[in-house]
Structure 1
């Protein structure tokens, strides 16, 4: 029951860290309260977003802020009782979203994003899961010319700055590409490079199975029981290791705060539901209704409808009002049939106020490592984060400069 490294958290990030360490002949224990991929990594849009060089910023336009303040928007909702606690985080998030600061953040963030496809594809091939990755890209659809022009200018900027490839589809080409979408749509913008995953949970499960095939061990256990020098309680008893990686997503704070780290971690919650498609209708790409803030994606289980952002306490009761608000709109976009799931799924995205993950060694404990805070791009950045953390622990040459993602940037 002694290992070189314990990895706490079996979402896409933790599983990827564990697999990469095990590949490097470390003896690794992976610990979670649930089976791999059954929390935040279960309920995403299934996109590996090569185009995601600019992390999601806080809106700064007064008109948008006033619209969100009414708490009736389809893309962002909030719990009023959580706003006081979230205020310091949101203030820093707003400041970091200033265009100049956001552009500087993007230059650092892009160093991770540029490896997201190659690292996922490599790990998926080794895990025998390449069939789950579909190199089809994804698209934004437009109902108004103003939104089309705004998003096109944005895509052109990303292309100039980072070489992001995209394709503009007029109404005719859109109907040829997605014949079952609403025929009143004006156009679409398709990002051509990203992969779409047909079953995110199945991909995490495949990575975990690969980790075990390499000799790693998975334990059901509570990461919050972590003790110094390093030990964790599991259903099979106490396990120990010389190092530990905290990759518990929105629950990472349970460990870090107890160890004396004051990291500004908050959550953005989101919901999803699966639907049958009516008659012979077919959805070929993940599609974002940019003007209403929801996405539909073809999944192995059916058509997945994912919502935007809910600002709330991590463990507050579920309030799927956004899902109920966008479902009628989504039914006009694509002929959705009956709901498949018994109830809406809900997950929490772990977020930092500068929109970048925390990756690297802890500042005050030897052999303690952090890998969390990936916000909307946890699934996208899971594989490259796994490789980067493994390279740092084993003191190899590094694929990416980890300095922008260091713990100490928050004076922890």
Structure 2
């Protein structure tokens, strides 16, 4: 088993970890209960978000808290009976969002984000994956001039402190950029750095094919069967038991099911999210992703159609789908863009793995140095998959990490 690794979880993060380890000569088996990229990596906004240097903080103004408490918005929705299960992580989330603490978190988080586009392009260039990546940025639309001015001021700080690129469009500029919008907006922030992915699932599969072509293996299996085996580890799969000297847990929202029995139960909590795809009427097109800042929904041009995504839903993890946010967003989206029929009969639903301090868990388990963590990326698993993969692989193979991994270490909890 010397030099061998089992990576549990075949989403964007797990696939990226497996690929980077295999490129460094490790004997890697990738294990998941379903096909690569079929979990949370399947449904997202399809953005590699270089501009997202400020993680989503817990609301701290009375007006914002009251807005969310009314439970009638598109960007946030909660099941009252589920809230007690969220009490502890949300309290920690609120504590970490205190301005002084949040400022320190931004410093560490922005280091992860800084190279996200470069890390994706390093994996994608010269391969089929490049067909799925477009350098078109995305628009954040505003219909309130005061809100637009505040957003511009905040973007200027991001540009000054973190080299984030953006342009400001007035109403005419928005209409020129997206001529098929049905309503006029006062303006928009045009984030110029992000990359748009036309098929996030397809991108995960493309990276996985690179891993397989390099000699890696993927098998279907049950990560919760992980158990110590001699000096290493064993997990049951459909092809029989797989043994390895080391394990990487890249299971997103399900990671505590594996780390808990090993003595590590981080305060990870899940936010459910949904999407539908739509056709477009006539010859109408959407050139780039757009986010409606007032209503809180996004529309993205994808291979499957125009993807409408919801915000965050706080509900029981295994509860039935309740796509209330999509139902609220759809009529608003139809007033903004000439959408045709839905492509799917049922909405997609996935769970975002979130940490109270807004940063992922990356590094070896305390007292279990042969078990490594790579989870808790919140809404940015697609963005940070290759970055995390490179960081984990460098640490596991004894290279000097390209960025300081200390802020993301598991023992901080």
Q: What TM-score comes out, normalization by structure 2 length?
A: 0.98
1:343-399, Cα deviation, whole Å (9 max, x unpaired): 000010000000000001111113110000000111100001000000010000111
Question: Residue 5 of structure 2 corresponds to which residue in structure 1?
Answer: 5
Residue 67 (structure 1) aligned with residue 67 (structure 2):
yes
Give 1:2 shift.
8.8
- SS in structure 1 at match of 2:188: strand
Give 1:182 shift.
3.0
Residue 405 (structure 1) aligned with residue 413 (structure 2):
no
In the alignment, the residues of structure 1 paired with residue 101 and residue 51 of structure 2 have an alpha-carbon distance, to the nearest angstrom, of 19
CA contact (8 A) 2:47 2:195 kept: yes
1:58-110, Cα deviation, whole Å (9 max, x unpaired): 11110110111111112100011111111111111112112222221111111
1:18-45, Cα deviation, whole Å (9 max, x unpaired): 0000001111000001110011000000
Give 1:162 shift.
0.8
Q: Out of 349, 361, 365, which is 1:362 matched to?
A: 365
CA contact (8 A) 1:169 1:188 kept: yes
Give 1:126 shift.
5.6
1:243-275, Cα deviation, whole Å (9 max, x unpaired): 000000011111011111120000111100000
Question: Residue 104 of structure 2 corresponds to which residue in structure 1?
Answer: 104
In the alignment, the residues of structure 1 paired with residue 75 and residue 390 of structure 2 have an alpha-carbon distance, to the nearest angstrom, of 33
Q: Tell me the number of residue pairs that the alignment of Structure 1 and Structure 2 aligns.
A: 410
Question: Residue 48 of structure 1 corresponds to which residue in structure 2?
Answer: 48
CA contact (8 A) 1:127 1:209 kept: no
CA contact (8 A) 2:364 2:409 kept: yes
Question: Residue 325 of structure 1 corresponds to which residue in structure 2?
Answer: 328
Q: Out of 307, 318, 321, which is 1:304 matched to?
A: 307
Q: Aligned runs of 1:68-107 on 2, under 5 Å? A: 68-107=68-107
Gaps of 5+ in 1: none
CA contact (8 A) 1:250 1:314 kept: no
In the alignment, the residues of structure 2 paired with residue 309 and residue 405 of structure 1 have an alpha-carbon distance, to the nearest angstrom, of 23
Residue 238 (structure 1) aligned with residue 241 (structure 2):
yes
In the alignment, the residues of structure 2 paired with residue 37 and residue 45 of structure 1 have an alpha-carbon distance, to the nearest angstrom, of 14
In the alignment, the residues of structure 1 paired with residue 372 and residue 237 of structure 2 have an alpha-carbon distance, to the nearest angstrom, of 20
In the alignment, the residues of structure 2 paired with residue 197 and residue 251 of structure 1 have an alpha-carbon distance, to the nearest angstrom, of 25
In the alignment, the residues of structure 1 paired with residue 103 and residue 138 of structure 2 have an alpha-carbon distance, to the nearest angstrom, of 23
- SS in structure 2 at match of 1:331: helix
Residue 131 (structure 1) aligned with residue 141 (structure 2):
no
Runs of 4+ in 1 over 3 A off after TM superposition: none
Gaps of 5+ in 2: none
CA contact (8 A) 2:139 2:188 kept: yes
Question: Residue 351 of structure 1 corresponds to which residue in structure 2?
Answer: 354
Q: Aligned runs of 1:8-407 on 2, under 5 Å? A: 8-125=8-125, 127-228=127-228, 229-407=232-410
CA contact (8 A) 2:133 2:197 kept: yes
- SS in structure 2 at match of 1:6: strand
RMSD, matched Cα = 1.1
Q: What TM-score comes out, normalization by structure 1 length?
A: 0.98
In the alignment, the residues of structure 1 paired with residue 301 and residue 2 of structure 2 have an alpha-carbon distance, to the nearest angstrom, of 43
Give 1:3 shift.
6.9
Distance 1:49 1:382, change over 3 A: same
- SS in structure 2 at match of 1:215: coil
CA contact (8 A) 2:10 2:36 kept: yes
1:276-334, Cα deviation, whole Å (9 max, x unpaired): 01111110110001111110000011000011110122212110000001100000111
Distance 1:2 1:393, change over 3 A: closer
1:215-265, Cα deviation, whole Å (9 max, x unpaired): 000000011111122100000000000000000001111101111112000
- SS in structure 2 at match of 1:341: coil
